[in-house]
A and B are shown apart, each in its own frame.
Chain A
Amino acid sequence: KAGVTQTPRYLIKTRGQQVTLSCSPISGHRSVSWYQQTPGQGLQFLFEYFSETQRNKGNFPGRFSGRQFSNSRSEMNVSTLELGDSALYLCASSRRDRAGTDTQYFGPGTRLTVL
């Protein structure tokens, strides 16, 4: 079974631009979560989508947004990029199993550099 895929793997943008990152979850997984990883703050939760609805949101400004499509694929968008947005953006997908538990599996990430 294919794992979580993210595109693009690397991205360079300049301040003020906007960017869209894509995530394809593991087949059958309906929950997709996004995380930001930086050396200073570590791994921080951005938001989670389930069945095309945002189920939870982390403490990030409104410049960070996301959406989920009917096939569970998800995109996240960052508008008006700032230097501090440079980070590894990770997507994780999960599916509730028969025991009622969810386990998140991560993609390889998109490395965003803002100049």
Chain B
Amino acid sequence: GQQLNQSPQSMFIQEGEDVSMNCTSSSIFNTWLWYKQDPGEGPVLLIALYKAGELTSNGRLTAQFGITRKDSFLNISASIPSDVGIYFCAGVPSYGGATNKLIFGTGTLLAVQP
């Protein structure tokens, strides 16, 4: 199945450090979303981006919609232990017409050591 290129695959950091992850695609996307998933649960929406160049913050989280519309990044500042989980990017491609079909990234596993 189709997946977005997401990096890094995993990160092991100390509490208080900043984190950065990104997603890239060869196709243009209309929407970029960032989700966090805990084991056995569904993804929880963190940030939604709808316009190229848009920069949006949600507390310690900041995400940007790339100007080319083919990429997005997520930054987490001053990480805390509860930031542990798997982070997914997801996008709605520009092709396909009126649809909410999401293409997901491969995920970034974040581990935070107190």
Q: Which residues of A contact B (CB under 8 A)?
A: 4, 6, 31, 33, 35, 41-45, 48, 55-56, 58-59, 88, 90, 92, 94, 99, 101-109, 111
Interface of A is mostly: strand
A90-B42, A106-B42 known; A56 and B101 CB under 8 Å? yes
Q: Cβ of B74: which chain A residues have Cβ within 8 Å of it?
A: none
Contact between A103 and B33 (Cβ–Cβ < 8 Å)? yes
Contact between B98 and A35 (Cβ–Cβ < 8 Å)? no
A103-B45, A106-B43 known; A33 and B104 CB under 8 Å? no
Chain B interface residue count, CB cutoff 8 Å, equals 27
Contact between A48 and B99 (Cβ–Cβ < 8 Å)? yes
Q: Cβ of A55: which chain B residues have Cβ within 8 Å of it?
A: 98-100
* Sampled A-B contacts (17; CB under 8 Å): A31-B100, A33-B101, A35-B102, A42-B107, A43-B88, A43-B102, A44-B104, A48-B101, A55-B98, A88-B40, A90-B42, A90-B43, A99-B50, A106-B44, A106-B45, A108-B41, A109-B40
How far apart are the CA atoms of A42 and B48 in the complex, in Å?
20
Q: Does B75 contact A (CB under 8 A)?
A: no
A103-B45, A108-B42 known; A58 and B106 CB under 8 Å? no
Q: Does B64 contact A (CB under 8 A)?
A: no
How far apart are the CA atoms of A43 and B105 in the complex, in Å?
8
Q: Does B31 contact A (CB under 8 A)?
A: yes
A58-B1, A59-B1, A103-B48 known; A45 and B43 CB under 8 Å? no
Q: Cβ of B33: which chain A residues have Cβ within 8 Å of it?
A: 103-104
Q: Does B11 contact A (CB under 8 A)?
A: no
Q: Does B103 contact A (CB under 8 A)?
A: yes
- Give the distance to chain A from B11, nearest Cβ to Cβ, in Å: 18
Contact between B106 and A42 (Cβ–Cβ < 8 Å)? yes
Q: Cβ of A88: which chain B residues have Cβ within 8 Å of it?
A: 40
